[in-house]
Amino acid sequence: MKKIASVTVIALLAIGFTSCKKDHTCTCKDSAGKEAAKYTFTKVKKKDAKTACDNWNNTFKISGGSCAL
């Protein structure tokens, strides 16, 4: 019984420490508020997708637009 409990705890810890990679979409709008572009980041952490989307946001800010996840 102890062995089963130990294996279960180890499995739950392994699942808890793995990062959740999903598809995320960064939507960019022009200065008029119309959708100008969509970028899909596949199987990445949300933090990494946000960083990439923020980079696009900096580019779109130049012309008055914006991007967000």
Q: pLDDT digits over 9-52, tens only?
A: 454 444 555 568 999 999 999 999 999 999 999 999 999 999 99
Higher pLDDT, 34 or 7: 34
**Cα 50 from Cα 67, distance rounded (Å):** 10
Mean pLDDT of 41-69: 96
Q: Cβ distance 57 to 68 under 8 Å?
A: yes
Mean pLDDT of 43-68: 96
Q: Which two tokens stand for residue 30?
A: 């022009």
Looking at 8-12, 37-41, 53-57, 62-66, which range is the least confident one? 8-12
**Cα 30 from Cα 51, distance rounded (Å):** 20
Q: Cβ distance 42 to 31 under 8 Å?
A: no
